[in-house]
Amino acid sequence: MEPEQLATLFDERKPLRPAVLNLAADAWQAYTSPDPTQIEALLRKDTSGLPFLREAFLVHLARFPSLLNGLGRIEKVLLNLIIGGIDEFKPLFHMFLELQPEYGFGDWQIWTHLKNLSSVSNPLITIHKVKKPSRPLTSGDFMQAYFKMTDTGKAILTGNSDMLNRNDIDVWLGGVHLSGHNPLWRWNEANERLVQDNR
């Protein structure tokens, strides 16, 4: 918001009641817990005191590997854009923000996801036009990048293969550390529930 827009909200301010503060504390406890089902338990309660909390947590849970192909929502959206022809970083970044504004990502966060998709043992994409300088990359460096899907990436995106069968995982989502293959939390997109995959 612009400062003038923000100022208009002042008259709409409300006191933070103890119940809202307690809900916020419970939300932080759930987010940082190594057991992501604490988030689901919280969402079964009344969260109306923090009206954006429910959607924020559902968006967060959708980052967990999907039961369908092992991709989280962010990776799935990026790969669908690339295979759909938006394969240059700048338009890809802007289109992702348009489709998924709730994540609020900057260019470096999107770049990190794309780089991870290209650097696993069975890459899903290849990155082109980015030199490997001795200094760290800047946004100016990777704004020129473009991407190509690999056969592995196409197979995973269509559900004919699974990301977690083809590649190891080592990522933190809140307090949950996803690593190795067993056990692993996955997101069932059909019913918006987490399941534990012990294969």
Residue 134: inside a domain: yes
Copy the structure tokens of residue 150: 């690999």
Residue 195 lies in a domain: no
Residue 164 within a domain: yes
Structure confidence by residue, pLDDT tens digits, 23-52: 999 999 999 999 999 999 999 999 999 999
Q: Is residue 138 included in any domain, yes or no? A: yes
**What pLDDT is stored for residue 183 in this prediction?**
63
Q: 0.75 cut: is pTM over it? A: yes
pLDDT tens digits, the chain, 199 residues: what are they? 888 888 989 988 888 899 999 999 999 999 999 999 999 999 999 999 999 999 999 999 999 999 999 999 999 999 999 999 999 999 999 999 999 999 999 999 999 999 999 999 999 999 988 766 555 666 577 788 899 999 999 999 999 999 999 999 999 999 999 997 556 899 999 999 999 986 5
Structural domain containing residue 158 = 73-171
Average pLDDT over the chain, rounded to an integer: 91
* Strand segments (E) across 51-157: 125-128, 146-149
Number of domains the chain is built from: 1
Domain holding 131: CATH number?
1.10.10
Q: Give dist(CA 71, CA 63) in Å, integer.
A: 8
Residue 144 within any structural domain of the chain? yes
| Amino acid in position 79 | L
> Helix crossing, 73-83 with 89-99: angle to 10°?
130
Any domain includes 125? yes
- In this predicted structure, what is the pLDDT of residue 147? 96
- Residue 135 falls within a domain, yes or no? yes
* Domain contains 77: yes
